[in-house]
Each structure stands twice: as structure tokens, then as C-alpha cells.
Structure 1
Amino acid sequence: MMHQEFKWQLKSGEITLGRDPLVMGILNVTPDSFSDGGDFTDRDKIIAQAQKMVAEGAHILDIGGESTRPGSEAVAAQEELDRVLPAIDALKESGITAPISIDSYKAIVGQQAMEAGAEIINDVWGFQRDPELADVAAHYSCPAILMHWDPDRDREKDLIDEMNRFFEKSLQIAENAGISKSQIALDPGFGFAKNFDENYELLRRVDELHALGYPLLIGTSRKSMFGKLLGNTPKERVAATAASTVLAYGKGAHIFRVHDVRENRDALQVAKAMLYGPPPPKDV
């Protein structure tokens, strides 16, 4: 499948979403995330991890201050701000220039993160938990990633049809707020209110979401869909994640949100060479 091309306008410049896959490095500054909870709550560790991911090829850094793993407890806005704002400040002060995405569904967190230097909003509820976050994205004219998370969907109906219905509602909220269509990406939400079989059905059919006309972000990194298949722990799921990344890229996806940047970047470069032809060979 040839990749559709889109362009995002950020404060720091333009990003093209097309045949060149973009890697988004996950930087959770939480004590309880399913895979890396507590690993990056210290300023020096946050900076070191961000520098590592950028050096390994991350194009965007996604900072999250509230875990969304199954069974996690909601975090008050102030506590979330107390986690993410120092992290954004630390990255800016350390000279990291990769665009920062704020992984939050709360308008107040999105607004203050944008003021601190974030350039992208990544909402796991697709503007449907706190629609005022759409107003924040419109105010800053920033890209917004809208994820599918619908615990109440009709499981007797077709999965993709239900996802399209959800996204149409999210996109209407975005349109009402005045967000440009060119500043939106969709995330099918692997693992979010989807069972084992549904996650693999989604991976197989993810290209059907292109009918909506937006770039796709894929977030399968270290997910339980691999653990339930392979019987391994989150940090042992790097190869499985890379396999899903390559499959989704082959189905036209654009952005890949991962913990393990180098491995997924390498896998994507092989996939790109296969689809579009390799660049000149490097000396080894």
C-alpha cells in the first residue's frame, strides 16, 4: 500500500507524514505505567531517556503523567501537572529539540503543557472525555491525535464500523472547536476496551480506517496482546512490537508510538526499503 501524505504545522516547523515512518518515543513520568512505571520520575533519568530515544531515531517525544493501564486509578489534574510540567521543562532546558506531545485528556493539562513547550496533544479519549481539550488544540493550532477508547460500544456490531462511529463523533467535536482537518491524526487504540481477538482483527483490518482520510498512529508497544500470545513480560515484547509495527506500516500507517525506539526504527527502515526501494547502501 502506498502511503497517503499529510503535513502537520508545529510551532517548531512542518512535519510530513507519508512514506517516511515517524517514531514517537514513549516517556511516561508515572509511578504505575504497565511497562515502565517508576523508571523515569527523576529529572536526570527523564533527560537521559529522552536523549537516548532521540539519538536512536525518535522524531517525537510523548510525555504522559497518568497511567491508562487496566485497573489504574485516575489522577487529579494537579498531580498530573506536577509530573509532566517539570519533565517538559527539563527537556527544554537540556536542549532537546524534538517536538513534545502531551499525552492527556484533560483540558487544563493540555493548556499548561502547551504553554510549557509541548506542540502536540495526544488524547486517549478522542476529545470525548473533556471536549474543552479540543478548544485548547484549536487555540494553539496544534496537531491533535484522537484515540479510540469506547468501553460502551456494541460488541455485536462490526469492530471497524463501531470505530468509525466513535471517530465521527470525535471529529465533529474537533470541527466544532475549529481545528483544521490537516492537524488531526487517528489512533485505533490497541488494547483499549478491545479483547485479545479484537486486537488482532484490528491489526489485520487497520487499513480500513484510511477511509476517514486522516493519518494513523499505531500504539502496540509491549501490549498484553503479545503477552497473551507469547506468554512473556512487557519488556520481552520488543520483537513482537516491531512485527506489528512493520505490519501496520505496510497497511499505510504513519506514526508509531513505542518504548523501544531503535528496534522499531530499524524494522521500519527495512519495511520502507521493501515497499519503496532502498537508499544507497552504507559502508559496514
Structure 2
Amino acid sequence: MTINCKGTLIDLSSPKVMGILNITPDSFYDGGKYKSDISILNQTNKMLTDGATFIDVGAYSSRPGAQHISEEEELKRIVPIIELLLKNFPEITISVDTFRSKVAEETIVAGASLINDISGGNMDNKMYSTVAKLQVPYILMHMQGTPQNMQKNPTYNNIITDLISFFAEKIFELRKLKLNDVIIDVGFGFGKTIDHNYQLLKDLDLFKNLDVPVLTGVSRKSMLYKLLNITPQEALNATTAANTIALLNGSNILRVHDVKEAVEAIKIVELVK
């Protein structure tokens, strides 16, 4: 349960928090909120102070129906932000949220430490060879379809066994390429109905059989706010409830907008466990 982030060993046997830094104009919760250098640095400083181990930077919105942007635009948005963060926070561990191998390579060269791929390698056939060559931790997420069509009628034979088979096959491919550090993410809200999402949350512990760390990303998602008939802005309490269930079911990383509350949930669950 230890991953190597550019020479820094991070022990995930005690759960860690990944703070979300969206630099997209159209993300579902905080799109357009962090445009200026000062707003980006202030938010990053807050997340690090609140206890984030990783900062996950994304320049391509993956909300359902999101606008597609070019590889060039994604790079133009994200590389300067990585350089800005490293200049101001030299010890920061940056994860890059991308499904493109070229973006992965250029951001790792720029100083990022992990790659977080919503497509699990399915949207760029060079992604696996790229992360294996770079030897950086790779977050392998499951998504049915693409961000543009993933919620148009997601169907499974059995959501749990289908995803376990998907991950087992992908992990095998990555191990053949000698990639050491693989983390899985079941992809809440990515080609899943609300029932699928809650089945995954309930049975998250079954994914521990794959013997890799598990990342959970439910922060302020529609599986929470639509169920409760509230807005994403009102979904912090629901996020903490879902994160607590995920932790009790063995999640190793919480990917969140609200770091302080996630750290508090970890402290309480760790004491109980």
C-alpha cells in the first residue's frame, strides 16, 4: 500500500486526501472559480494546510455532456499551472487528471507526480506504455463510454463483477509493462445510474481483492445531490456521509473539493477501526 511519487514514498495503509483543483471553466461544481494565479494559489494553500497529500489538477471537464477540448488547449491550460504550483509549493505532490498520453508525459516532465485517467486507458492506446515508461503512479478509473455520452443509458450484467473483471484485465496489462503503482477508482457517476453508484459504495470492500489501493471520488456528485433534491453547493454533508462509508469499506484515498472535512472523517474512522 505504498506508492512512489518521484522518490517520495507515500503509505496508503492510512487513508489520504486528494484535493481537487479544477482549472476548467465548466466543471459541475467549481467551474471557472479558479482563473487567476492568486485564486489558484490561495485554494491550493488552503487544501495543503487542511491536510491534502495530493493536489489533483484538471484542465478537461469530465462532467456529463462536457465540452470536448483539444490536446493543445488542455496543455496550454495545465502546464503553466503545474509550474506555478511547484514554484510556490516546492514539496507539493501533483496529480494530473487527463486521459491523453501526451498530456501525461508533458505534465510529468513539468513536475507532476501521478496520472489520474478517467478512461482507464480506453481513450488513448498509448497511455499505458507512457505511464510505464515514466514509472509514475497511475490511477485507473472505470468509465462506460465518454464524458459526452456516458449517462445515456448505462447498463451492466452485474455492476460489481463487471467492474472487477475490467480492473483485473487492466491491472494485468499494466503489470506486464512493469508499472509498479496502480490505484483503482470505480468511477462513481461515470456511466452509472444512481442505483449502480450506491451498489458500488455498498460493496466497495470487494475491490480490495484486487490487491491495489482504492481511490473514491464522490465529492458533491449528482448521486448525492439529486437523491436529496439539493444543489452541489449544498452537498457537503452528504459527501462526508458517503466518504465515511467508503472509508469503512476500505478506501485508501478520498478525492474531494473539501479537504478539511475529509481529513476529519478519516481521523474518526481510523479511531473506530
Q: Tell me the TM-score normalised to structure 2 length.
A: 0.94
Partners of 1:262 and 1:85 in 2: how far apart? 27
Residues 187 and 219 in structure 1, CA contact (< 8 A), matched pair in contact too: yes
Alignment RMSD, CA only? Answer: 1.5
Match of 1:170 in 2: 170
Match of 1:241 in 2: 239
* Distance 1:172-1:75 versus aligned 2 partners, 3 A rule: farther
Q: Which runs of 5+ in 1 are unaligned?
A: 1-5, 276-284
Partners of 1:77 and 1:154 in 2: how far apart? 27
The C-alpha deviation readout for 1:119-178, integer Å capped at 9, x for no partner, is: 001000111211312122112211000001124898351111110222133223323433
Residues 64 and 103 in structure 1, CA contact (< 8 A), matched pair in contact too: yes
AA matched with 2:173: I
Is 1:13 the counterpart of 2:11? The answer is: no
- Using the TM superposition, give the Cα deviation of residue 213 of structure 1 relative to its aligned residue in structure 2, in angstroms: 1.2
The C-alpha deviation readout for 1:16-70, integer Å capped at 9, x for no partner, is: 111x210000001100000000011221111111111000010000000000001
Is 1:140 the counterpart of 2:134? The answer is: yes
Residues 51 and 96 in structure 1, CA contact (< 8 A), matched pair in contact too: no
Match of 1:126 in 2: 120
Correspondence for 2:38 among 33, 40, 44: 44
Match of 1:193 in 2: 191
Tell which deviates more after alignment, 226-235 or 151-160. Answer: 151-160
Ranges of 4+ aligned residues in structure 1 off by more than 3 Å: 151-154
Secondary structure in 2 matching 1:15? strand
Correspondence for 1:211 among 185, 206, 209: 209
* Distance 1:154-1:241 versus aligned 2 partners, 3 A rule: closer
AA matched with 1:265: V
Tell which deviates more after alignment, 93-102 or 61-70. Answer: 93-102
The C-alpha deviation readout for 1:207-237, integer Å capped at 9, x for no partner, is: 1111111110000000001111111111211
Secondary structure in 1 matching 2:203? helix
Secondary structure in 2 matching 1:40? coil
Correspondence for 2:77 among 74, 83, 89: 83
Partners of 1:190 and 1:136 in 2: how far apart? 26
Secondary structure in 2 matching 1:84? helix
Residues 62 and 101 in structure 1, CA contact (< 8 A), matched pair in contact too: yes
Is 1:232 the counterpart of 2:226? The answer is: no
Correspondence for 1:67 among 46, 56, 61: 61
Q: Which runs of 5+ in 2 are unaligned?
A: none
Q: Tell me the TM-score normalised to structure 1 length.
A: 0.90
Partners of 1:9 and 1:59 in 2: how far apart? 13
AA matched with 1:51: N
Figure out how many residues of one structure are paired with residues of the other and give that number.
Answer: 267
Secondary structure in 1 matching 2:17? strand
